[in-house]
């Protein structure tokens, strides 16, 4: 095909797409931009308030809480509290860190559910936030220009520090390593390079050459002392396609990552995969050859078409999962169940019935406590007890150990 002919066909096809497109009205786009701008100004104001009002640069800028109901993350009051963010718990409930729908990192008071902004960050993205096992440092992802960076900040407040380029940070049980997901742009061993105006100048190095040509997704484990990185491919998808990764969770002994992935191309391919980080081996529920050693659950054992959309390790090695139904085309999600299951998928306890339209469950578990999102509502559950709605307006949350 000659160049002119190729260009002509491409041009005519793109014109067909353009003609059939139904973009929103300009006023709608402006309102969307105004909301982003408002959030940015709001976060800047919160940062100024925090710096100005706090003794030692740290104080509550309270998010209002409805009487008797969960604390919303959106509204801000001018009142301030004096207790520590990670202060005395209610009935032993630990503190929680969360990312609000406005992209603000907050620490939720365990008694009131009121959130205190931890940084001036306004573009935090989901859907994972992680706290070091000693409870001192919070790791989170932010959109920086056109890239996604992982940053850390002391739980007691301070200036966020760039850690690396990537998303979905998950700190290891010993606090020495950080697992995350990094997208690789372009082919070969080229490092990530973002040319977007105003983007981060993060190095993007260390992506390795694991994924070959084209954009790829890698699971990376970074030594937080030396900065050395081990790069693993994303879980294999269907055919030549690579699964998206939506959540990472370390096993209690730090030997394994539970990688939640899917979908691939259509509403299929959701699964939990176990990645042995020492041997770089994936164990997948549909790999018959690995059946005897896979120890990875498949939700289809419960009900045909069901899948585990997301899972995290419980402190005893069992799993806390979000079981959804049903995979396939056309997509028709009819149920979402929060469950504790064994490593092989046997249901141990049904924790709750979730909303089927939520985007991300943001599961987390520490000894005696579970939390999850249903929609943007944050629920917590004490050991074996029914969950209670604790706060609203979040896209990610995690316990402070």
Partner 1 sequence: MRDPGSFDAFYNGSVRRLIGQLHAMTGSRTEAEDCVQEAYARAWQRWDKVSGYGDPEAWVRTVAYRVSISTWRKAASMRAAHRRHGAPDESAGLSPDYVAIITALRQVSQSQRQAIVLYHLVGLSVDEIAKETGAAAGTVKARLSRGRQALAPLLDEGEVRV
Q: C-beta of 7: minimal distance to partner 1 in Å?
A: 4
Out of 42, 111, 199, 210, the residue judged to bind partner 1 by CB under 8 A: 199
Residues in region 208-227 near partner 1 by CB under 8 A: 213-215, 217
Based on the shown chain and the rule CB under 8 A, indicate whether residue 355 belongs to the binding site for partner 1.
no
The answer to whether the peptide bond before residue 127 is cis (omega within 30 degrees of 0) is yes
List beta partners, residue 102: none
Token pair of 150, please? 């992982």
Based on the shown chain and the rule CB under 8 A, indicate whether residue 248 belongs to the binding site for partner 1.
no
Residues in region 155-194 near partner 1 by CB under 8 A: 167-168, 181, 183, 185-187, 193-194
Rg of the chain over Cα atoms, rounded to whole angstroms, equals: 22
Based on the shown chain and the rule CB under 8 A, indicate whether residue 331 belongs to the binding site for partner 1.
yes
Residues in region 264-293 near partner 1 by CB under 8 A: 265-267
Based on the shown chain and the rule CB under 8 A, indicate whether residue 334 belongs to the binding site for partner 1.
no
Are 120 and 47 in contact by the 8 Å Cβ rule? The answer is yes
**Chain-centroid distance, C-alpha 68:** 29
Piece in contact with partner 1 (CB under 8 A), picked from 34-42, 43-51, 220-228, 369-377: 34-42
Out of 6, 44, 252, 278, the residue judged to bind partner 1 by CB under 8 A: 6
Q: How far apart are CA 245 and CA 272, in angstroms?
A: 10
Q: C-beta of 372: minimal distance to partner 1 in Å?
A: 16
Q: How far apart are CA 374 and CA 109, in angstroms?
A: 20
Q: How far apart are CA 253 and CA 317, in angstroms?
A: 9
Which residue, 113 or 263, is less far from partner 1 as judged by CB?
263
Are 176 and 205 in contact by the 8 Å Cβ rule? The answer is no
Residues in region 139-158 near partner 1 by CB under 8 A: 141, 143, 146-148
Based on the shown chain and the rule CB under 8 A, indicate whether residue 333 belongs to the binding site for partner 1.
yes
Q: C-beta of 246: minimal distance to partner 1 in Å?
A: 6
Based on the shown chain and the rule CB under 8 A, indicate whether residue 201 belongs to the binding site for partner 1.
no
Residues in region 58-117 near partner 1 by CB under 8 A: none
By the 10 Å C-beta count (0-12 exposed, 13-18 middle, 19+ buried), 151 is classed as buried
Q: How far apart are CA 248 and CA 363, in angstroms?
A: 10
Out of 56, 68, 91, 197, the residue judged to bind partner 1 by CB under 8 A: 197
Closest CA to 391 of 87, 109, 92: 109
Which residue, 70 or 126, is less far from partner 1 as judged by CB?
126
Out of 10, 51, 228, 293, the residue judged to bind partner 1 by CB under 8 A: 10
Based on the shown chain and the rule CB under 8 A, indicate whether residue 263 belongs to the binding site for partner 1.
yes
For residues 216, 227, 124, 391, the Cα torsion angle rounded to the nearest 10 degrees is 110
The answer to whether the peptide bond before residue 259 is cis (omega within 30 degrees of 0) is no
Q: C-beta of 337: minimal distance to partner 1 in Å?
A: 16
């Amino acid at each position: 095909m000659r160049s002119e002919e190729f260009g002509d066909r491409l041009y005519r096809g793109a014109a067909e797409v353009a003609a059939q497109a139904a973009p929103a009205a300009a006023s709608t786009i402006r309102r969307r931009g105004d909301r982003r701008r408002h959030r940015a100004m709001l976060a800047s104001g919160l940062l100024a308030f925090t710096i100005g009002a706090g003794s030692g640069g740290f104080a509550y800028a309270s998010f209002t809480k409805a009487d008797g109901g969960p604390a919303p993350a959106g509204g801000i009051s001018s009142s301030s509290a004096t207790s520590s963010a990670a202060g005395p718990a209610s009935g032993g409930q630990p503190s929680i860190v969360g990312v609000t729908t406005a992209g603000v990192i907050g620490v939720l008071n365990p008694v009131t559910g009121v959130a205190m902004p931890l940084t001036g960050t306004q573009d935090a993205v989901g859907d994972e936030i992680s706290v070091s096992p000693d409870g001192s440092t919070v790791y989170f992802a932010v959109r920086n220009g056109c890239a996604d960076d992982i940053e850390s900040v002391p739980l007691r407040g301070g200036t966020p520090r760039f850690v690396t380029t990537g998303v979905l940070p998950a700190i290891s049980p010993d606090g020495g390593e950080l697992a995350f997901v990094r997208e690789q742009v372009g082919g070969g061993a080229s490092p990530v390079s973002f040319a977007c105006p105003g983007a981060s100048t993060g190095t993007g190095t260390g992506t390795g050459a694991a994924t070959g040509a084209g954009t790829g997704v890698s699971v990376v484990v970074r030594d937080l002392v030396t900065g050395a990185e081990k790069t693993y491919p994303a879980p294999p998808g269907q055919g030549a396609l690579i699964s998206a990764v939506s959540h990472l969770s370390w096993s209690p002994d730090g030997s394994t990552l539970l990688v939640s992935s899917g979908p691939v191309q259509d509403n299929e391919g959701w699964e939990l995969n176990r990645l042995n980080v020492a041997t770089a081996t994936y164990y997948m529920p549909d790999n018959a050859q690995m059946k005897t050693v896979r120890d990875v659950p498949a939700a289809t054992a419960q009900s045909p078409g069901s899948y585990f959309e997301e899972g995290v390790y419980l402190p005893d090695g069992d799993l806390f999962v979000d079981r959804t139904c049903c995979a396939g085309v056309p997509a028709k999600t009819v149920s979402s169940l929060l469950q504790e299951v064994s490593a092989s998928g046997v249901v141990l306890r049904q924790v709750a019935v979730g909303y089927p339209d939520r985007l991300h469950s943001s599961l987390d578990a520490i000894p005696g406590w579970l939390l999850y999102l249903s929609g943007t509502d944050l629920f917590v559950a004490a050991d074996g007890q029914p969950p209670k709605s604790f706060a609203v307006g979040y896209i990610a949350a995690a316990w402070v150990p």
